[in-house]
Amino acid sequence: MKIILIYGESLLLINEAINNIVKGNKNITSFDFNNCSITDILIEAGYVSMFEEEKFIIIRNANFFGSAKLSDKDTELLLKYLEEPNSLSHLIFICNEKLDSRKKITKKIKEKYEIINIPPLKFYEIESRVEKYLQSKNYRISKESIRYIINNSLNHYDLVMNEIEKIILYYNQPSFIKQEDVEQIISKSINSNNFLFVDALIDGDIKTSLDRLNDLKTMKVEPTVLISLIARDIRIMLSIKKLLEQNKREVEILNELHLTDWQLEKYLKKAFLYKIKELEEWLVKLTNLDLKIKSGKLEKYNALELFILDICT
């Protein structure tokens, strides 16, 4: 019997972790906590089939281990189950945000079971994964092209792999992937608008931010992806400011954060516009915004518009 809590931002990396746990077992039931209750989950977990088969129950969007709240009744129900779980049911909770270590349910998982943290991949880790993945498909590509894809996907692993799949579909057979093809295939217009949207937002330009958001809405870019990209830029700026406070030199910051020269120059300029406390408050607001969108409490594009108005005024 396994009870595991996985937390992280990358859907692909989380799915990898799940696959490593279930190891090909086909007896799997999935719940989305946005559309179910603790009672639904515990009824399924407590059920024993006539053949006494082991089963895996995956609970996505279990953000009640983070900033979301459970009622006292549901908390007690879950705690009671965690004390005496069904030995044939393996529960895998997926939390898409930072855990709240003060909560009883989080403490209980940490005390008796297993927590898996999946941090964002560093640039060189994404580079290595892309290279190995393409090799496994018998494709060849230059490091320059891989880095181009990563930079244009804002170092976001899920976006990078989405672009890689487009490239594979384009070639449709093992080949050498040409740089000029890479530049034509990947979503340059969307990525360009992503850059412009995030830059305008951080610069406090309300009009441009709202205009770019409207463009991205037309392109059907998911707001949760944009939230992730905004949070990424803020985390980099926050890390830079903290490293500068430690009297780190620029070359040390480059190496520690795995940035290119142009990226460091860009983030340095933007980081000087804000105090550490302001950047930390932005991250908290983004976490709450992401939660409200995923729980259906706010329409996703309207939620981002409200966020823009909040931080730019």
Backbone φ, ψ for residue 217 (5° rounding): -65, -40
Only one residue has tokens 């946005």, namely: 34
Q: Are the C-beta atoms of 179 and 148 separated by less than 8 Å?
A: yes
Task: Extract the tokens encoding 204.
Answer: 């406090």
- Per-residue buried b or exposed e for 118-152, using 16+ beta carbons within 10 Å of the residue's own CB: bebbebeebbebbeeebeeeebebeeebbebbbeb
Secondary element (H or E) of residue 194: helix 188-203
The CATH code for residues 3-118 is: 3.40.50.300
Residues in the chain predicted with pLDDT less than 70, given as ranges, are 49-50, 154, 187-192, 218-220, 313
What's the start-to-end Cα distance of the chain, in Å? 52
235 to 116, 218, 283: CA distances (angstroms) = 21, 28, 8
Domain residue ranges of the chain, discontinuous segments joined by +:
3-118, 123-186, 189-312
Beta pairing partners, 244: none
Classify domain 189-312 at the CATH topology level: Zinc Finger, Delta Prime; domain 3 (1.20.272)
123-186 belongs to CATH 3.30.160: no
pLDDT of residue 222: 78
How far is it, in rounded angstroms, from Cα 179 to Cα 173?
17
Only one residue has tokens 């700026």, namely: 237
pLDDT of residue 207: 84
Beta pairing partners, 8: 118
74 to 34, 88, 173, 301: CA distances (angstroms) = 15, 22, 52, 31
pLDDT of residue 313: 67
